[in-house]
C-alpha cells in the first residue's frame, strides 16, 4: 500500500513569488492535514481538509491557503513568499473512521525562500 | 491552551543503555496521544497511539505508557539505529478534527 506522497521534494523560490505544493494521501484516507516544520517552532498545524472542505485552520496568515479535490488529493499554496516561509512542509493523511485517528506523514517538501 | 512539553531536548546514550523520554501535556480533553520518530530530512514515522491512562504499547525496543498528565517512551537496550528525533503529539476533543499539537521533540543519539 503506497504511503503519503508529496511533490516536489525540494523547492527554491524568490521572495514575493508564490508556490503550490501537492499531497496525495494513502488510498482510502479522506482527511489531509498540513504542517509547517521549522527549527525554532517545531511542527505547527496549518489546516485540515476532509471531503473537499476545510474543517480546521491554524494561526497562519491568509497567504497560506489550501484545497482538496474529490479524489482526496490536496494542494497548499503560499502567496507573496517571505524569507520566514522557508521550512519543511508536511502533509499527513488520516482514515478518519471511528476511533482510528492516526496520522501518517509524507516525506515533506523542503521550501527555501531566497 | 493545549500544550505539549518534551524532555530532555537531547539525550546521548551508549548502545545498550536503557532510558526514558518524557512528554507532559495539557489538553482540555485527550482524544489520543501519539509518538512519532523522525529522521533528518524525512517526515515523521508513526510509532504509537495511546488513548487512556494506564495504556501501554510496545514495539521492538520501544514501550510507550500514558498517565493523565504525561507519557513516557521507554527505550530498552538501544542500538545506534534508534538514533532519531522522537516527537510526541496530542489530539484533543472538540469538533471533528485530526489536528495534532506537537512537542518540540527529543533528539536521541545512541553511540556504539
pLDDT mean by block of 10 residues, chain A; 114 residues: 92 98 95 94 94 94 97 97 98 77 94 98
Q: Tell me the pLDDT tens digit for each residue of B28-69.
A: 889 999 999 999 999 999 999 999 999 999 999 999 999 999
Cell of B6: 518534551
Kindly report the average pLDDT of chain B as a whole number: 95
Nearest-CA distance B43 → chain A (Å): 4
Nearest-CA distance B11 → chain A (Å): 17
| Residue A8 CB partners (closer than 8 Å, separation 6+) | A21, A109
Nearest CA in chain A to B100: A45
**pLDDT in the model for residue A98:** 56
Mean of pLDDT values over B86-110:
92
Nearest CA in chain A to B49: A102
**pLDDT in the model for residue A38:** 95
Q: CA A23, CA A90: separation in Å to the nearest integer?
A: 9
pLDDT band at B88 (very low <50, low <70, confident <90, very high): very high
* Distances in whole angstroms, Cα of residue B100 to Cα of each of A76, A80, A101, B30, B92: 18, 27, 10, 11, 8
pLDDT band at B77 (very low <50, low <70, confident <90, very high): very high
**pLDDT in the model for residue B89:** 97
* Three-state DSSP string of B63-108: EEEECCCEEEEEECCCCHHHCEEEEEEEEECCCCCCCCEECCCEEE
Amino acid at each position: 500500500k503506497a504511503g503519503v506522497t508529496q511533490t516536489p521534494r525540494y523547492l527554491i523560490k524568490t521572495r514575493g513569488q508564490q508556490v503550490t505544493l501537492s499531497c496525495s494521501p494513502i488510498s482510502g484516507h479522506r482527511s489531509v492535514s498540513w504542517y509547517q516544520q521549522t527549527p525554532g517552532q517545531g511542527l505547527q498545524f496549518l489546516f485540515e481538509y476532509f471531503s473537499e472542505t476545510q474543517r480546521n485552520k491554524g494561526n497562519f496568515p491568509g497567504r497560506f491557503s489550501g484545497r482538496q479535490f474529490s479524489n482526496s488529493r490536496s494542494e497548499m499554496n503560499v502567496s507573496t513568499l517571505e524569507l520566514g516561509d522557508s521550512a519543511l512542509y508536511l502533509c499527513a493523511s488520516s482514515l478518519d473512521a471511528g476511533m482510528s485517528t492516526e496520522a501518517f506523514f509524507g516525506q515533506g517538501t523542503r521550501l527555501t525562500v531566497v | 491552551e493545549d500544550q505539549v512539553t518534551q524532555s530532555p531536548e537531547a539525550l546521548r546514550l551508549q548502545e545498550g543503555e536503557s532510558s526514558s523520554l518524557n512528554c507532559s501535556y495539557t489538553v482540555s480533553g485527550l482524544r489520543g496521544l501519539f509518538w512519532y520518530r523522525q529522521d533528518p530530512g524525512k517526515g515523521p514515522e508513526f510509532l504509537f497511539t495511546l488513548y487512556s491512562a494506564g495504556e501501554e504499547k510496545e514495539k521492538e525496543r520501544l514501550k510507550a505508557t500514558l498517565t493523565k498528565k504525561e507519557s513516557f517512551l521507554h527505550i530498552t537496550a538501544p542500538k545506534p539505529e534508534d538514533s532519531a528525533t522522537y516527537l510526541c503529539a496530542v489530539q484533543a476533543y472538540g469538533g471533528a478534527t485530526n489536528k495534532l499539537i506537537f512537542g518540540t521533540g527529543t533528539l536521541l543519539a545512541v553511540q556504539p
